[in-house]
Structure 1
Amino acid sequence: MNLSDQGPSDGGPAAVGERFAARPQLDTVAVTRKFYASHPDNYDQLVIWTDVSLVQNAFAFEQTVANEVGGIGVATFDASREFGSGGRLRSLVNMDWLGKYPDDPLQKFLGENNTVSVLGQESGHRWLAFMDFRDRNGARSDLLLGRDQAHWSFFFDSDASVMEGNDIEDLGGGSFRTAASVSRFSLLDQYAMGLVRDVDVPPFFYVENPTNLSITRTRESAPQVGVTFNGTRREVLIQDIIAIHGPRTPSANQSARVHRQAFIYISSAGRSPEGGQVSKLDRIRTAWEQFFLQATDSRMRAITTLR
């Protein structure tokens, strides 16, 4: 996609303002409008990759542009038309420079993450992780949440969710160990995604007041396998989340089972896409579809072919 191509503009014959930056930046509104000028409005999420590094203060990020889902801690709104969609688009993912990802999409390279688990987290931000809960005293609590209040806490037994947290093994006597990470969407995740009912989500737990950590970690820390610590196990029920946010709407019986995405590769002005990079992105796309199906226990498919 070449954003320097001439095309129609809604802004009139003259500029109404200018923006200066010390380094190149990506105008996601311009990207999506350019995309929709030649592609149908058939996608829930657009996934953007670039040939240079543009993202600052993050490795990659997601931007929700519309949300109709209740009960997941996200306000309902619709700004999709500002991005050129007729109302279908829900989210943008900016994966940034393709060159910073390994050639093998399953190779671990970013802490416990590989390329498809990073993509899983960014894609998952369309629904996750924003849920508070009712604690044992009846008060609202955010102790399930960690980094930016948009990922699971390091001390939450998230069943190795791609949304962070860890699969935490209870060793007994107030001792715990992180056993796995970033490999799936948990049943709690799948509830937020509309894939399972509330009655399908078993009790889960977090560890309160962790001490004696083998490696210093906080709620905001990235997942890591093999960390031991002590603390108090606190059980949480899905009804404790519903007590704060209300039931998930639409229900699992009414929610989509296909997540349609378009992968967009952006070349810098004056450059053409390199064949090797296009092939690399296609390998990621294929591995991602397989990973997403497995990570959702075959309850949802990601379809990335253009149509």
Structure 2
Amino acid sequence: METHVAHPYSLPLEASTQGGSVWQDNLDGTFTQLRDGLFVPASGYSYLDLYLMGLIAAAEVPDFYIVRPLTRIGTDANGHPVFKGERIKITIQDIIAAEGPRLPDVTHSQRHFNTGIVVVVEHGQKPSAELISRANGIRKQWIEYWEITTGGRSSMTVDVK
């Protein structure tokens, strides 16, 4: 499945944080897998991801496609896997017809999230200042990453409640 990343974090060719791959349609019934979503850092959430998260309206989701049956037939000159199959267009209306609309809708969905970071040390030990500093660095990067990959439509905190 290819769904374009709505708000890229790094390279726009990478797959969604939810998985998947980026495909090049060779226009001859074959498709080249440019990036494998299982093995590369993800660049952001796709439009479909953002719809399913309740962060964008259905009207904002562009059409995408799947390839079936997906049969590997070789590699291209750059070493990318090449597959044959049929390109099947999918619209957000297809998703809604099969699964129903997203509830709550975009106007009523959660926008602000809080996650926790747990620092684990050996029994009886206290975390070092360096470990705390590293955990705080991860916290700051996570908050920034979340905001970028959701296109600023959602916020994240990492607060003890």
Counterpart residue identity of residue 305, structure 1:
D
**Structure-2 separation of matches of 1:212 and 1:244:** 29
Alignment check: 8 A CA contact 1:158 1:164 kept: no
Work out which of the two has the higher radius of gyration on C-alpha atoms and give 1 or 2: 1
Number of the residue aligned with 2:55: 195
Number of the residue aligned with 1:265: 119
- Aligned-pair distance for 1:174? 1.5
Q: Within the alignment, does 1:166 sit opposite 2:21 as a pair? A: yes
**Structure-2 separation of matches of 1:281 and 1:158:** 32
Which of 92, 105, 110 pairs up with 1:256? Answer: 110
Number of the residue aligned with 1:296: 150
Q: Identity across aligned pairs (percent)?
A: 29
- Secondary structure of the 1:299 match is coil
Stretches of structure 2 that go unaligned for 5 or more consecutive residues are 5-14
**Structure-2 separation of matches of 1:226 and 1:285:** 35
Alignment check: 8 A CA contact 1:214 1:229 kept: yes
Relative distance call for 1:280 and 1:228 in structure 2 (3 A) is farther
Instruction: Name whichever of 161-170 and 184-193 sits farther off.
Output: 161-170
Number of the residue aligned with 2:11: none
- Aligned-pair distance for 1:274? 2.6
Alignment check: 8 A CA contact 1:205 1:236 kept: yes
Of structures 1 and 2, the one scoring higher in RCO (CA 8 A, sep 6+) is: 2
Instruction: Name whichever of 160-169 and 274-283 sits farther off.
Output: 274-283
Stretches of structure 1 that go unaligned for 5 or more consecutive residues are 1-155, 216-224
Alignment check: 8 A CA contact 1:285 1:304 kept: yes
- Aligned-pair distance for 1:178? 2.5
- Aligned-pair distance for 1:213? 4.2
Task: Write the mapping of 1:52-131 to structure 2, written as runs, cut at 5 A.
Answer: none
- Aligned-pair distance for 1:259? 1.5
Q: Within the alignment, does 1:230 sit opposite 2:84 as a pair? A: yes
**Structure-2 separation of matches of 1:237 and 1:262:** 36
- Secondary structure of the 1:273 match is coil
CA deviation digits over 1:193-232, x for unaligned, max 9?
A: 10011111111111111223447xxxxxxxxx94322211
- Secondary structure of the 2:116 match is strand
- Secondary structure of the 1:209 match is strand
The CA RMSD over aligned residues, in Å, is 2.0
Relative distance call for 1:211 and 1:302 in structure 2 (3 A) is same
- Aligned-pair distance for 1:238? 1.4
Counterpart residue identity of residue 271, structure 1:
Q
Q: Within the alignment, does 1:179 sit opposite 2:39 as a pair? A: no
Alignment check: 8 A CA contact 1:175 1:231 kept: yes
**Structure-1 separation of matches of 2:118 and 2:144:** 19
- Secondary structure of the 2:145 match is helix
CA deviation digits over 1:39-92, x for unaligned, max 9?
A: xxxxxxxxxxxxxxxxxxxxxxxxxxxxxxxxxxxxxxxxxxxxxxxxxxxxxx
Aligned residues: 143
- Secondary structure of the 1:263 match is coil
- Aligned-pair distance for 1:294? 1.3
Number of the residue aligned with 1:157: 2
Relative distance call for 1:212 and 1:264 in structure 2 (3 A) is closer
Number of the residue aligned with 2:69: 209
Counterpart residue identity of residue 279, structure 1:
S
TM-score by length of structure 2 reads: 0.78
Q: Within the alignment, does 1:240 sit opposite 2:94 as a pair? A: yes
